[in-house]
């Protein structure tokens, strides 16, 4: 999962990982299917950000982020 501006798809493809990015308005019209997918990605993004916060604040793995 990444925000706009990340150009790492080719690197991730080599290791079999698909990059999920939300649709951006400048890419053209937004259709209902795209809106639903973007909402799904956004809901996962919240979980990922919470997990990163836990890692940084020593709540996981018993190690602090430096």
Given a cut of 70, whether residue 66 has pLDDT beyond it is: no
**The whole model's pTM is what?**
0.41
Residue 25 confidence (pLDDT): 60
Long-range CB contact pairs, 43-49, < 8 A, 24+: 44/1, 44/20, 45/1, 48/1
Residue 4 confidence (pLDDT): 56
9-64 pLDDT, tens digit each:
788 889 988 777 766 666 566 677 777 887 887 888 888 888 878 877 765 565 55
The pLDDT confidence band at residue 1, using thresholds 50, 70 and 90, is low
Sequence ranges of the domains in the chain: 24-66
Q: What is the DSSP string of 1-66?
A: ---TT---HHHHHHTT-PPP----GGGS---HHHHHHHHHHHHHHHHHHHHHHHHHTTSSTT----
């Amino acid at each position: 999962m990444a925000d706009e501006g990340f150009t790492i798809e080719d690197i991730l493809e080599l290791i079999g990982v698909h990059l999920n990015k939300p649709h951006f308005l400048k890419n053209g019209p937004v259709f209902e299917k795209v809106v639903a997918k973007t909402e799904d990605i956004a809901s996962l993004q919240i979980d990922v950000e919470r997990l990163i916060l836990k890692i940084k604040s020593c709540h996981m793995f018993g190690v602090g982020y430096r």
